[in-house]
Structure formats: structure tokens, C-alpha cells
Amino acid sequence: MKRVVFSMLAMLGVVALVLAMTPAPALADTIEISATGTASSSSWSWNGAVGGALTGSLTNPTSALTVGRQGAIALGPFSFTGTYSWTTGGFAGTTAIGPLTFFNFGAGGNVSVATGGSGQSINGTFFAADTTLFTGTFTAASVVLNGSPTAGFDATFILGTVNPNLLTALDFASSPTGATGAITGNLNGAPLVAGQANSGTIGSSDLTLNVPEPGTLVLLGTGLLGLAGIFRRKISG
């Protein structure tokens, strides 16, 4: 029985260490960046053409931006002024599902969040003006129309880089700057129509970034291997 326990602990330890070294995030907390726009500080636009990108921007000083950490550790949200903007890949056509119409946009474009003003302090860490907090690119995005003048913007696949100083400000134990994430939000204005240019304001936009912390699995793996070693010594003794 003891040999079985030893074997199981050793195997679990090795599995945990292997997972910790794989590129895919095993355990992750999230960084939440949120913005609430107003008519004077936010805008979106699209030319309606196939291949045309959808753009959006929320800019300081009147945009209220917040950033915080959610997960095993919760911090914030902390308010700051800055610029939060995005440009999708090109328009790739529409898809109808029941009463919903999806306007689909392909890979490409960019997402950027940067500080503004004369500099900003986030949880005690100072960032100079125009410091990039996050930059990334879309692998897919869509706008869904449900009969309301407000359209829902949904970009579920974003790959990008987090400023390591922002990770430090949010108490991440390590600094894995790569992150994946999603954007959700509301676009105010007339509904999108293919072939017609349109624009409006942004009601809200939330950027969620998944930040892996592989150190957690490393500790788990080494701990399990340590227990396996103890059991082995007892069996040998």
C-alpha cells in the first residue's frame, strides 16, 4: 500500500511540474480594465465595407478608467485617466442566429491601454504619462444586433503583453507579461448596416486579461515530490 502511495505522489508531482512548464496558462488570475464613456470622450466608427475595421476609443481626461485584479487575490479597482482604444481586423460578413445578427471581424488590428495626463499612480506604483499598460491584437471579434439601438461588442480572443510594472502594482508573484483575454461592451448609435458607414459613442467597455502564474504549480509539484521522497525513505527503512 505504501509503495502505491509513493508512486501516486511521485506521478502527481511530475504532472504538476510539467503543467507548470507548458506555455498554456494552468492557473490564472485576471486583470480587469473597465471604461465608461460619454458622448464627449468616446467614439466608435466603421465604414461598412468588406475588409473595413471597426475602431473604438475612450480618451482622458473625461473617461473614467479603472484597473483591478480578480481571482485568488482581489485588488482594486483603482481609478486612472488614460486612453483605451481598439481597432479590429477587417469585416468578414454577417451571420444570423435566430433574432440575432452577428457582424464578424477577422484577425488583426490592435488593442491598447495607456496612461494619460501628467502620470498616474496605480496602487502606489507611478506610471509616467503615455505609458502603455497593455497592448495586443485580435484573433476574432463581433458585434451582435438584437433589435436594440445599442449593439453588443464582443472580442473573445485577444493576445497581448501586459506592462510588467502593472503586474508588480497588482501584486503578481511573477511577471509573465503574455496574456490572453476578451473585450465586452456596448456601442451606442444606429445599428450597423453592411455597406453603410456608421459611428456613435461607447456606453461601456471591459477588458479582461488572464495572467498565468506558473510558480503556483511549481510549488505544488516540488511539494508532492518531496512527500514522495519521505514515503520512499520510510519504505526503505
pLDDT 10s digits, 47-72: 999 999 999 988 765 567 899 999 88
Same structural domain, 136 and 75: yes
Same structural domain, 32 and 105: yes
Q: What is the pTM of this model?
A: 0.75
Residue 213: predicted pLDDT:
58
Same structural domain, 133 and 233: no
State residue 101 phi and psi, 5-degree precision: -120, 125
- Per-residue pLDDT, averaged over 168-182, amounts to 84
The domain of 10 spans 1-24+214-237
Same structural domain, 200 and 235: no
Q: Is 101 helix (H, G, I), strand (E, B) or coil?
A: strand
Counting beta carbons within 10 angstroms of the beta carbon of residue 152, is it exposed (0 to 12), middle (13 to 18) or buried (19 or more)?
Answer: middle
Peptide bond into 61 cis (omega under 30): yes
Same structural domain, 78 and 195: yes
- The kind and range of the H/E element at 134 are strand 132-145
- Per-residue pLDDT, averaged over 150-170, amounts to 88
Same structural domain, 46 and 80: yes
Q: Count the domains in the chain.
A: 2
Same structural domain, 90 and 7: no
- Per-residue pLDDT, averaged over 31-44, amounts to 80
Can you say whether residue 30 is alpha, beta or left, with left for phi > 0 and alpha for psi between -120 and 50 degrees?
Answer: beta
Calpha distance 141→160 (Å, rounded):
15
Q: Please say if the pLDDT value at position 203 is more than 60.
A: yes
Q: Please name which of 42, 46, 68, 37 lies closest in space to residue 57, comparing C-alpha atoms.
A: 42
Q: Is 105 helix (H, G, I), strand (E, B) or coil?
A: strand
Same structural domain, 94 and 129: yes
Calpha distance 49→151 (Å, rounded):
18
Residue 91: predicted pLDDT:
94
Same structural domain, 218 and 198: no
Same structural domain, 10 and 41: no
Same structural domain, 47 and 82: yes
Indicate the pLDDT class of residue 214, thresholds 50, 70 and 90.
Answer: low
Same structural domain, 32 and 78: yes
Q: Please say if the pLDDT value at position 25 is more than 60.
A: no
